[in-house]
């Protein structure tokens, strides 16, 4: 009495032939999302990795470095994948080269 009847709207008829332009328009947001993702996230990360690898390869005996855990020291010996880090007079620890975060200016570590 107070409620009117509601009728479902008929679904639009599907196009029998696929239109290349409509397919392109439906794929465009997905493609744009991947392009933006590449330039905002992937490319800067690859650049950072390349700079870190160059820094690790350029390590030399006597360089003062900071490790990933916050340990600071001077490079005493170099190996292919490990370095010996002098953290105090006569105290050396062996760490992976990839754990080096930053090379400090000379004279920082005393």
**Which of 86, 79, 33 lies closest to 56, judged by CA?**
79
Measured distance CA(106)–CA(57) in Å, rounded = 18
| Cβ-based neighbours of 107, under 8 Å, separated by 6 or more | 64
Q: H helices of 6-95, where? A: 20-37, 43-57
Q: What percent of the chain has pLDDT over 70?
A: 92
Q: Which residue has the tokens 């490319």?
A: 43
pLDDT in tens, 58-109: 999 999 999 999 999 999 999 999 999 999 999 999 999 999 999 999 888 7
Q: pTM (2 decimals)? A: 0.69
The residue among 47, 37, 41, 75 whose CA lies nearest residue 59 is 75
């Amino acid at each position: 009495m107070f409620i009117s009847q509601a009728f479902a709207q008929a679904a639009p008829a599907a196009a029998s032939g696929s239109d290349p332009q409509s397919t392109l328009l439906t794929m465009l947001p997905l493609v744009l999302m991947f392009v933006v993702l590449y330039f905002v996230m992937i490319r800067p990360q690859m650049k950072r990795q390349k700079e870190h690898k160059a820094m690790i390869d350029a390590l030399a005996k006597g360089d003062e470095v900071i490790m990933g855990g916050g340990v600071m020291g001077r490079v005493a010996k170099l190996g292919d994948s490990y370095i010996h880090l002098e953290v105090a007079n006569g105290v050396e620890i062996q760490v992976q080269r990839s754990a080096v975060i930053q090379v400090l200016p000379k004279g920082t570590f005393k």
